Amino acid sequence: MACAGLSSLDLFRLGAGLRSGALTAAALIEDVLGRIAAAGDDRVWIERVPEAQVRAQAARLDAEAAGDPGRLARLALFGIPFAIKDNIDVAGLPTTAACPGFAYLPSVTAPVVARLEAAGAILVGKTNMDQLATGLVGCRSPYGVPRNPFDARFIPGGSSSGSAVAVAAGLVSFALGTDTAGSGRVPAAFNNIVGLKPTRGRISTRGVAPACRSFDCVSIFALSCEDAAQILDICEGYDAEDPLSRRVERGVATFPERFRFALPAAADREFFGDAETPGLFAAAAEALEGLGGVRTEVDFAPFRAAGEMLYGSAFVAERLAAIEDLFRRSPEALLPVTRRIIGAGDAYSAVDAFNAEARLAGLRRSAEALWQAAEILVLPTAATTYTIAAVAADPYATNVRLGHYTNFVNLFDLAAVAVPAGFRRDGLPFGISLIAPACSDAALASLGARLHRRLDLPLGATAHRLPPPSPASPAGPRPGSAPAPPLRR
């Protein structure tokens, strides 16, 4: 649990305290540094920003606000503490991707981080992760396993494990992860927080060490859907220097009062023997009906088949392409499990790659029928969870099961938000994912916010609850949103 501090670190409460003068950026940062110290050796961090530098940035913000009272209002994230996954570049801090042999020292900060800092946010550190963003378990790091704040015997989820734990434990207000196969959603489910996986290309991936470049995206962990939507508003934007960046239309901001949501047909629902998650999933579906949703059942087969292709076809070769030089030169630099997964890319030919593209196109077309029947696909974020010991005993099958409901999303160019949806009897959290076509990010966040509020769950592993509803739409424009600033060097 978070140590006793000033408040919940959600953006609403912190913003109110900062605007009223009851809280300063310096006081907030001191509280955050105290929380991190109290957490001890939680294996959350790979690299911390020097505390003197963090304090100096907070003091500078306070001084600017004292000299120009309008400054605070113009910076949407004034003084807000955040963290980033250690495959995202910050000038002067090493990027390791949890692989010391891969590490390099960037001279340029990734645009996504630069945008957040330009809005007043204060970077606290870079977080632990599954090595080279390959895994959904959170146990594949030479820096240890980030401590699950609900039960240290259980996995925190990966690959963005440290980022999710940092938010859930009340160490930062929000954190960036990445999501190729579910790495921005599975850790959210296991830590009782929100994980927003935006439309691919909406946030620049320049300055992000690639895992599988065609399907990578930056993801957002936050305590609420409103917070995640606000962060997305600030850090999104077309980047002409990123060949995969897209000019993304905002799309609808909300779904209609009466909306249709799809569930897999009963025969397609797989929970891998978990006795509790089926009931929690059913309860979440009933809560969506209470919000005006009308359920329908659909064939999950094309989604499942596409998900199996991410690691079971020539698409895995793109992971090898991302680190081929290191893999050929120093394969021992990789953990055995990482080496085996990425090395599988050697088994495929260019012909295999074209065949995989053709098969995926066919599956994508088959899956499009769902969007005639419903606006949203609703799935468990993860069907079950595992202890660290269980993953160590079978690191491959356990990971595959965790991706059952997540792997296909980027392959089908969909948007998704993972939302907390209750607790098992053993106290471990459960979550669901709301999934819809590209550019539906705002509407998904809005519906996710309504569901989260209806379920009235604590925020992460803290005792805090959601703040009062904001009068603004959770996905509407926010003060302080601005074009991309010059990159910091």
Give catalytic residue positions.
85, 159, 183
219: β partners: 177
- Using alpha carbons, list the distances in angstroms from residue 134 to 338, 370, 419: 7, 30, 23
Both tokens assigned to 211? 């895992």
CB 429 within 8 A of CB 191: yes
Q: Would you tell me how many other CB atoms lie within 10 Å of the CB of residue 105?
A: 10
Q: How far is CA 238 from the centre of its chain?
A: 20
For residue 458, give every residue at least 6 positions away whose Cβ sits within 8 Å of its Cβ, in sequence order, or none.
192, 464, 465
Helical ranges in 291-407 per DSSP H: 301-312, 317-322, 324-329, 336-343, 350-367, 370-373, 388-393, 395-402
208 forms bridges with which residues in the sheet?
88
> How far is 288 from 454, CA to CA, in rounded Å?
9
Give the separation between CA 30 and CA 362, rounded to whole angstroms: 54
Task: Give the span between the Cα atoms of 292 and 139, in whole angstroms.
Answer: 39
Single-letter code of the amino acid located at 427 = G
> Which sign does the torsion angle of CA 18, 457, 420, 378 carry?
negative
Among 308, 312, 280, residue whose Cα is nearest residue 421: 280
DSSP state string for 163-213: HHHHHHTTS-SEEEEE-SSSTTTHHHHHTTSEEEEPPTTSS--TTB--SSG
**CA 396 to CA 89: how far, in whole Å?**
29
Give every CB contact of residue 148 below 8 A, 6+ residues apart in sequence: 154, 155, 156, 165, 190, 191
Question: Residue 275 is encoded by which pair of tokens?
Answer: 């006795």
Q: How far apart, in whole angstroms, are the C-alpha atoms of residue 259 and residue 293?
A: 5
List, in order, residues 6 or more apart from 20 with CB less than 8 Å away: none
